[in-house]
Chains A and B, each alone.
Chain A
């Protein structure tokens, strides 16, 4: 039992740290620093650098572009990206869809879709949630009916509404769960379709969230025609794909490295902000205690994640402890946002969004903390709400 990194791991850390420092796009860095909203090209700038280097999808199988890194190396990679405040590679194509394609897709589908995902040429969005299907995802209503087109080919005609489609406004393609058999139990009648977002009958409408951002969308599908060959896996077995997707890509789900960076920022804030008694806020008995408790919880989460990684390294696969990562990870992210908003004091209130981004009111570190807090409430709701996660642990781990 030890915490030492091997000489190879130390060298690897040096290599990725240098790579990030030398290759992170300067324009993107400038926009991040000024808090300017990111456009489509910005989101893809880092992705494209990584694709060229061959590091965009470390977890994929080697034959499709994976790096064959050990779990420890993947951990180092996520730590170094957090340390350098890089933007995250968008998960929709790389982490969510690609594993479904390389696990369940045909050879043609792999050839057709994986390169576009890898290179960042095709922007994917997710069509899962519906207004009436949140935690109870299988109750979705969007339906797809088979028909033969005038060209003699087989199509699905898709009708329904999807929601919470993150960054769908930029999407070229989407992966959708649709009902292909309404007469069986919900999980048994679902299919997994890839849909060109330029298809006639698709409309993407923005949903503006509490912090004023446009990140999520409603997607309406009105008689959208989808070739049958765009279905992944068998008809009515899309739920299998969806479930596999949820189980994939556990590493990084806890966001430990990003939270560590967030904690550093919080401490910087609390060293500058003053307490009621004078002296830095970090000397305030009550505030200090909250930061200390958060730091300790984060350490516990970090070691739970490391234990999970060690389990993966020794070939045991993610143990039951990995189920905890989502719950604790998001709780910690939210507590960080909460404390940052508290620390900002009066200057948590100004809402500069409509003033443009060179408007400085109050200290720069206070800009955006309220937005982060309000937007951050999503993390315990999405990806299977934390209550659903507890259901999963109760059933799968405790056997209840």
Chain B
């Protein structure tokens, strides 16, 4: 049993943290997310070239740093602390995850491009009618000669405005909500028939509504086996959830520490408000939520390599803890900051917004509780 980080992982953390301290201050971020592009391609270039972190979870044969999920965890936690919006999740964790696990013929080339910062991925899985049921798909991919024609609409595809590639779930068979018949495709975002409507999200990211109209792709666009894509989707999604938990730990830490700091300096009734016991106990409860979230993130990240059932149960348990912590710590951070927290100027409110959105990312707390129940109680229930 070991919860320590390797020297490489500690170095990775230091590298990311020090770059973000120099280049990702709150004001710089605020300017960037309000700009037309909504992100800073030069930061992405630095991730690729200066820091080399876009290869963190890829093997050395593929040109990566030889890490894995723990390395994603390290990077994402630091990103959470700085509220990084650049698309590491979509590109490295999710895009990279699909490529690594599927054995896709084009994977080595594409991973090389990811590591170089030249390929950016967004995951088009959600649909307007489906909440968090990944196989609820109206998007179809029908056979067309040797390839497929994709038709459908995808909802809130985070990072799509910046993406070069989309990973798309579509139905090649079965009914709308069947587990069978789900396939995964790699689609060039510039392919004819792909249209996007881009917009900002409330937490400073960018997303798109993506429409596919008779988008023609070759058979080589298929990732994994036709009609049997759901287990692959679940596996990559679980990895993305673990990485989201790690990001949340960074966000929660800033919320908790920022609140302690603020209450020490804010005076009312002639004393720092941190001297009030009712606020002290609230901050202790925030701290406990943070620590429990860190514990669950470690647990979930380590269990990513377990069998599908155990992996899924661990991931959902962690997401439940994270979701609850995001709500409790976020709301109380705002409460203890008072009115200042709901001004756009103060950083704390922006952490609160991200924490709140994380509650729903890849499945809400209720969704994951229900998934956990099904996995833990099985037939008994």
Give the interface of A toward B (CB within 8 A): 1-5, 9, 72, 267, 271, 280, 282-283, 288-289, 291-293, 295-297, 299-304, 306-307, 309-310, 314, 320-321, 324, 327-328, 387, 390-391, 393-394, 397-400
Q: Give the distance in Å from the alpha carbon of A1 to the alpha carbon of B69 in the complex.
A: 10
Q: Give the distance in Å from the alpha carbon of A291 to the alpha carbon of B369 in the complex.
A: 11
List, in ascending order, chain A residues with CB within 8 A of B264's CB: 400
Q: A-facing mask of B288-307, CB < 8 A → 1, else 0?
A: 10011111101101110000
Q: Give the distance in Å from the alpha carbon of A307 to the alpha carbon of B5 in the complex.
A: 12
**Pairwise interchain contact A292-B283, C-beta atoms closer than 8 A:** no
Apart from A300-B292, A400-B263, A400-B264, what are 7 other A-B pairs with CB-CB below 8 Å?
A: A2-B1, A296-B321, A300-B299, A301-B292, A303-B298, A309-B1, A324-B288
**Pairwise interchain contact A300-B321, C-beta atoms closer than 8 A:** yes
Q: List 15 A-B contacts (CB under 8 A).
A: A3-B299, A3-B302, A271-B380, A282-B377, A282-B381, A289-B373, A295-B376, A301-B292, A310-B4, A324-B288, A390-B284, A391-B277, A391-B280, A400-B260, A400-B280
Q: A-facing mask of B112-130, CB < 8 A → 1, else 0?
A: 0000000000000000000
Q: Give the distance in Å from the alpha carbon of A76 to the alpha carbon of B216 in the complex.
A: 58
Contact of A296 among B3, B263, B302, B317 (CB under 8 A): B317
Q: Give the distance in Å from the alpha carbon of A395 to the alpha carbon of B317 in the complex.
A: 31
Asked if A398 meets B283 with Cβ closer than 8 Å, knowing A1-B302, A300-B295, A328-B292, the reply is: yes
Q: Give the distance in Å from the alpha carbon of A212 to the alpha carbon of B339 in the complex.
A: 52
Distance in Å: Cβ of B276 to nearest Cβ of chain A:
10
B70 interface hit (Cβ, 8 Å): yes
Q: Give the distance in Å from the alpha carbon of A398 to the alpha carbon of B377 in the complex.
A: 39
B2 interface hit (Cβ, 8 Å): yes
Distance in Å: Cβ of A376 to nearest Cβ of chain B:
20
Interface of chain A, main secondary structure = helix
**Pairwise interchain contact B380-A310, C-beta atoms closer than 8 A:** no
List, in ascending order, chain B residues with CB within 8 A of A301's CB: 292, 295
Asked if A310 meets B2 with Cβ closer than 8 Å, knowing A303-B296, A394-B280, the reply is: yes
B355 interface hit (Cβ, 8 Å): no
**Pairwise interchain contact B373-A288, C-beta atoms closer than 8 A:** yes
List, in ascending order, chain B residues with CB within 8 A of A391's CB: 277, 280-281
**Pairwise interchain contact A328-B296, C-beta atoms closer than 8 A:** no
**Pairwise interchain contact A280-B280, C-beta atoms closer than 8 A:** no
**Pairwise interchain contact B376-A394, C-beta atoms closer than 8 A:** no
Q: Give the distance in Å from the alpha carbon of A302 to the alpha carbon of B295 in the complex.
A: 8
**Pairwise interchain contact A303-B381, C-beta atoms closer than 8 A:** no
Distance in Å: Cβ of B375 to nearest Cβ of chain A:
10
**Pairwise interchain contact B277-A307, C-beta atoms closer than 8 A:** no
Contact of A293 among B275, B369, B381 (CB under 8 A): B369
Q: Give the distance in Å from the alpha carbon of A14 to the alpha carbon of B146 in the complex.
A: 58
List, in ascending order, chain B residues with CB within 8 A of A291's CB: 377
Q: Give the distance in Å from the alpha carbon of A105 to the alpha carbon of B54 in the complex.
A: 59
Asked if A306 meets B1 with Cβ closer than 8 Å, knowing A271-B380, A296-B317, A400-B274, the reply is: yes
**Pairwise interchain contact B260-A328, C-beta atoms closer than 8 A:** no
